[in-house]
Amino acid sequence: MLRYTALAGASLAMPAVVRGQESIFDMVNRGNVLRNVDKDSNTAAAEALIATNEPILSFDTAYNLQLAISQYEPFVANGGWEEIPQEAFRLLIGKSGASVIALKRRLISSGDMLLVPNINDLFDEDTDRGVRTFQARHGLIVNGQVDEPTWYALNVPASTRLQQLYLNFTRVQNMAANLTDRYVVVNIPAATIEAVAGGMVEQRHTAVVGRVDRATPILASKIHQINFNPYWHVPKSLVERDLTKYMLENPNYLAEQNIFIYDGNGNTIDPATIDWNNIGNAVNYMYRQEPGAANSMGHCKINFFNPHDVYLHDTPSKALFGENARFHSSGCVRVEGVNQLVNWLLRDNGDWDQTRVDTTFESLERLDVQLKAQVPIHTTYITAWANRQGTVSFRDDVYEFDAQGKVIFES
């Protein structure tokens, strides 16, 4: 890193020498280079760097974090990387200028680009690959453009990243000794899920987790049941915070969402008879959404023991999985590709396979299945980790636990 930064600095001091006067040949060659860029290949290469099968919670990761710390400490002591200017915002392949030189220096200093003898001012294929590598390591949409999330991530100081490595080494080290052979991890800052067996990640899933004001709790528990095509009983907290507001805005909201109201005796209540301005009156009833395409839990709910009434579940809102910041829920965790995770959880039940899981989803049959072997689940908070390839990943401190220096969490 230090060697990269020194050479990058020398290049920045001589932009005119590097660029010089372009000939017609230079301009034609530049056009050919940019036309031949294989962006898909660059994305695949970037994603391959983070796709190793070490679990985030493991002694392997703790060891890899130690190695990362040993590399970052001298680099930070020497001043770390430089900020990139605001002019670098929205740079992408084909652009040129002094801000591209600054971007390349930044990418070289963090190892996302290879060291080159001279740094020119063209956003070329190597720069595209470097930006995509940086985005993959930071859990951002891999598009090769210095968009807003990428620009902000590029300008996080190296000293902040080193502090994340310290904190997360301690977190991983503390938890690794308590892990079993088979378990599920929800990493909240990354909004991802790992299904682990035999010390290897067998499945990874994109997730949507709790927003800051309705955080997903950190806990250790056991998954014990799958509810296929469940009813959704609207929690009292959501009736108070959200549902009453929606009904005041749109009196047909419940009908449109296929939600029915019941009193304590199981009798159906007409929404028109409820005073939605009186929250105390509205919360006295039970609200149940029927199974179907609009059901907030989609085709399944994955239950684990906890006092917070949270669970993993499917969702009809698939588009959220494609966002950079997936912090939208009220504490529960939505799972992309949940049918595959359900099949993995039911592997000890004997009579379940992927075809049966998918068929049951599609049938809308209400079915509850107890796991013959309960699977441990850990919802945790890891904002930095490293794999055996030497790739270091970082995530934003969404709940500000890094800022508080927290390494031990109540479960």
Q: Which residues are catalytic?
A: 313, 332
Q: Which two tokens stand for residue 400?
A: 């500000």
Are 289 and 232 spatial neighbours (Cβ–Cβ below 8 Å)? yes
Residue corresponding to tokens 């000794």: 177
Residue 29 phi, psi (nearest 5): -65, -40
In angstroms, the CA 127 to CA 402 distance is 31
In angstroms, the CA 341 to CA 190 distance is 18
Strand segments (E) across 253-357: 259-262, 268-269, 286-289, 300-304, 312-313, 327-329, 333-335
In angstroms, the CA 210 to CA 328 distance is 6
Q: Which two tokens stand for residue 260?
A: 């029915």
Nearest Cα neighbor of 56 from 162, 194, 150 is: 194
Output Rg (C-alpha) for the chain, integer angstroms: 25
In angstroms, the CA 401 to CA 382 distance is 10
* DSSP conformational letter for 243: I
